[in-house]
Amino acid sequence: MAATVNTPQRAFVYLRQSLDRAGSGAAVERQREDCLKLCAERGWDVAQVFTDNDVSASSRKPRPEYARMLAAVDAGGAEIVVAWHVDRLTRRLTELEELIDLAQRTGLRIATVTGDVDLSTDAGRLVGRILASVARGEVERKGARQKRAQQQAAEQGRPAGGRRPFGYASDGVTVNEVEAGHVREAYVDVMHGASLKSVARRWNDAQAFTSAGNPWSHSTVRGVLKNPRYAGLRTYRGEVVGPATWPALVDADTFEAVRAILAVPERRTTLSTARKYLLPSLALCWKCGSDVATGHTRHGKRVYVCRAGKCISRKAEPVDDFVEAVVIERLSRSDAADLLTESGGDELRALQAKAAGIRERLDDLATGLEEGILTLPAVRKSSARLRAELQAVEAEAANAVHTDALGPLVASGDVAETWARLDIGQRRQVIDALMVVTLLKPEAGRRDFAPDTVEIHWKSDQS
Ligand SMILES: [Zn+2]
């Protein structure tokens, strides 16, 4: 008798405990049951079960059992890895790339209870990358327990923890004088008309990188300058809740003036509707942080090019397709409603009323001048302040409108179908509300689309 009797294939089962288990219903016991059932159905031998306790929800914390499992796969211990969902297996794109390498080297297959991911085909790898991008957004959101602790800290004005804020030591309270100097200087410069790009360049030239060690871009500089932390204010979920326990780096007037200035260009991009393509002005260049524009090659292929320099020029269509797929996948998740502001409509009405009030006061100033009750310098001074205030309020209203763009999508039963009916302007609003897209330079000579060269940062991660 020949030895070609079907030997059952060997599977490793991988389980991971995480903080969001209540939401996805994927407690370890449930994961184990479902995974073992899947192995039984397909006739696979369970060679070993690996379990990591990853409750910190930090994507950077090492997972010893996961590492041990990959080493065992490499040593020929199993042909299949079974997990409950791709996001149990990998929470970072770089991890997924490692897994893809391993799959290509050893022929490893990935099976999940929620559907198989075939890392041996382009299509399967694309699906894996889409899922991993969405999983990353889930890491960046905080678990319920953590949220409550944060709220309490906020009420007491204590730092939120997490990544070290630029300008301060890692306790979030002690001032880092060198960085603080850069921050103060930037507020003054922007108040006098300097661009965010020029600030980013100066900080990068001075090697004063972000606390994650990355170079600055105009949008990350904007994030710093708009952060009320630098005026000594504590925020919680985007709202100022009171004075903070750390020292301010700038006074309240400087902060407000800069915030009003920064509100203007942001409004221009978010309200722009006369667009033909998905990502111009929204996506950023990895190298210089500038936004990208649409261009065409000599052969008529549409490309995204860095607006500031010649850092990148890459095919636009596959990028658009990938970003749209990630959005649809994210909004199809059961917790997508969390992305909506609780009272978007009320907030918008309140802001509109506030704007109307400011416009009335501007009219009053003009009348006062005509009637000789007020002097020109006095009117100039007051109206400049009111106009800045009005711009800030209008920008806030624009943001409230655009968070609203998510509502119909999330509420619809079929996100993909609703998405298909949106025009480009609406899609851009949704993307802008959800994420920051950064385009990296594809490897030289690579012709197929590499999704890992499109970086997606979820905005819900902001603290
Ligand atoms: Zn560039």
CA–centroid distance, 411 to ligand 1, in Å, is: 37
- The residue type of 299 is H
CA–centroid distance, 305 to ligand 1, in Å, is: 8
pLDDT at 57: 44
pLDDT at 48: 95
Q: What is the 3-state secondary structure (H, E, C) of 315-363?
A: EHHHHHHHHHHHHHHHHHCCCHHHHCCCCHHHHHHHHHHHHHHHHHHHH
Task: Give the single-character DSSP code of 443.
Answer: P
Task: Give the single-character DSSP code of 415.
Answer: H
pLDDT at 24: 47
Which one is predicted more confidently, 336 or 283?
A: 283
CA–centroid distance, 269 to ligand 1, in Å, is: 18
CA–centroid distance, 207 to ligand 1, in Å, is: 18
Strands 109-112 and 80-83: parallel
Specify which of 51-55, 240-244, 275-279, 342-346 reaches the highest per-range mean pLDDT: 275-279
Alpha carbons 290 and 214: distance in angstroms, whole number: 15
CA–centroid distance, 202 to ligand 1, in Å, is: 15
Architecture of domain 10-140 in CATH? 3-Layer(aba) Sandwich (3.40)
Residues surrounding ion ligand 1 at CB below 5 Å: 285, 287-288, 290, 306, 309, 311
| Residues 311 and 286 sit within 8 Å (Cβ to Cβ) | yes
Q: How many other CB atoms sit within 10 Å of the CB of residue 5?
A: 6
Quick one: tokens of 409? 């999508």
- pLDDT surpassing 80 at residue 372: no
CA–centroid distance, 440 to ligand 1, in Å, is: 10
| Residues 185 and 177 sit within 8 Å (Cβ to Cβ) | no
- Among 152, 155, 170, 163, which Cα is nearest to 244's? 155
On the CB side of 241, CA atoms within 13 Å amount to 19
Alpha carbons 339 and 331: distance in angstroms, whole number: 9
Architecture of domain 151-250 in CATH? Alpha-Beta Complex (3.90)
Q: What's the pLDDT tens digit per position in 115-128?
A: 777 777 777 777 77
Q: What's the pLDDT tens digit per position in 113-172?
A: 877 777 777 777 777 777 777 765 555 544 444 555 666 677 667 777 677 899 999 888
Q: What's the pLDDT tens digit per position in 236-271?
A: 766 777 788 899 999 887 888 788 777 664 433 333
- pLDDT surpassing 70 at residue 375: yes
Environment class of residue 54 by beta-carbon count within 10 Å: exposed (0-12), middle (13-18) or buried (19+)?
Answer: buried
pLDDT at 463: 37
